[in-house]
Amino acid sequence: MSGPGPLAGVRVIEVAMNLAGPMVGEILAHMGADVVKVERPEGDDARRWGPPFWKGTSPGYLAVNANKRSITIDLKDPAAVPWLLELVGDADVFVQNLRPGSLEAQGLGAEALTARFPRLVYCSIWAFGRVGPLKLKPGYEPLVQAFSGLMMMNGDEDSPPTRIGTSILDYGTGMWGAMGVLAGLVQRGSTGRGCVVDASLFETGLAWMKGHFASYNTSGVIPERHRTGSHRVVPFESFETKTGPIVVAAGNDRLFAKLAGVLGHPQWAADARFATNAARVTNKPLLLPLIAAVFATGSKGEWIDRLEAEGVPCAVINSLPDAVSHPQAAALGMVQKVPGDDYSLMALPLSFDGVRPAIRRAPPAVGEHTAEVRAERRRTRG
């Protein structure tokens, strides 16, 4: 039941719920793997994260479960474990993000399964990591955004720490997990053995802080929050116009000189206070109000046209509907209709030989494919 793509023929067993673990499986499924999602009889918790709901299912579940098949297994029933082991025996990849220790107690942990199936790539997704004093601590996106330092770096200079407005740790950890799985499959191709892949929301949060950490580690100064701006590059943020904000990113001295010309103040590029990026960072409180005052005299459309004509990087601040309906999004084919239903999902942000993997099947209902997968096992054995 694999689809077209570079992972056609790869079988994945996903024993995962919520977002990060299923994100691993969805990435692999979009690339062509046959992903069998193993759910409790009541289904993935994320199915009930709402409102809103689409035909009784949360959009949060729909967002990370396309191109999969769903079966139900009650892992509290000892009789169910042998069937799951049969499925794993035919699989290339096992993905799990259940409560730490729960699978180990049933002989389904990484050590046991990779010993029994040496070619298996076993991927675990954790909240705080596989080792350390917090390895057993449960965690969700907002908790780990707070704990990793991301919240402290996000928001206005004078506002409280702010959560990033999307599940960046769940989706990012799923991305890292999928990369680890792909590396494990490559290793297996050369050695014949799989491996154990571990990723966690906390590690992803720390990784997303790598730029801030590099600044802190070299200067001893904790970077400050800068709303839409940067503590290393100036100007690199939003400015209000008569008709709404735009973002301007003059990432080097040449671009700043062009920006100064567009704003009618070419002398700024030769001013010792502003001539270099280091000087602009030092004199940011002086420079930004000067720039803001000029932008406030025109509309965002006028400024975008003038900036783009001179090659100064800039953008309007789109709403979600504006972003997904833009001709650029349409040209890329990032929004795809779900087969057999009347809604769309975001596609995989990768293309292979110029073709983006398609959403081939809708996110499955709970246990929708249990009978189908059981029948496949019977044919395989018989």
Q: 95-104, 217-226, 357-366: lowest mean pLDDT where?
A: 217-226
Paired with 246 in beta bridges are: 239, 316
Q: What does DSSP say about strands 344-346 and 335-337: parallel, antiparallel, or unpaired?
A: antiparallel
Domains of the chain: 11-208+345-381 (3.40.50.10540), 236-317 (3.30.1540.10)
Q: Look at residue 236 in the predicted model and tell me its pLDDT.
A: 93
Candidates 34, 44, 92, 170; catalytic one: 170
Q: Look at residue 382 in the predicted model and tell me its pLDDT.
A: 59
Residue 59, pLDDT > 70, answer yes
Residue 379, pLDDT > 90, answer no
Q: Look at residue 336 in the predicted model and tell me its pLDDT.
A: 94
Catalytic residue list contains 90: no
Tell me the whole-structure pTM to 2 decimals: 0.91
Q: Look at residue 255 in the predicted model and tell me its pLDDT.
A: 96
Confidence band of 153 (pLDDT split at 50, 70, 90) = confident
Q: State phi, psi for 349 to the nearest 5 degrees.
A: -85, 45
Q: Look at residue 105 in the predicted model and tell me its pLDDT.
A: 86
Mean pLDDT of the chain: 93
Give the single-character DSSP code of 13.
E
Please, are residues 240 and 249 in contact by the beta-carbon 8 Å criterion? no
CA-closest candidate to residue 143, choices 160, 167, 125: 167
Contacts of 66 (CB under 8 A, 6+ apart): 26, 29, 30, 338, 345, 359, 360, 361, 362, 363
Is residue 125 classed as helix, strand or coil in its secondary structure?
strand
CA pair distance 314, 304, nearest whole angstrom: 7
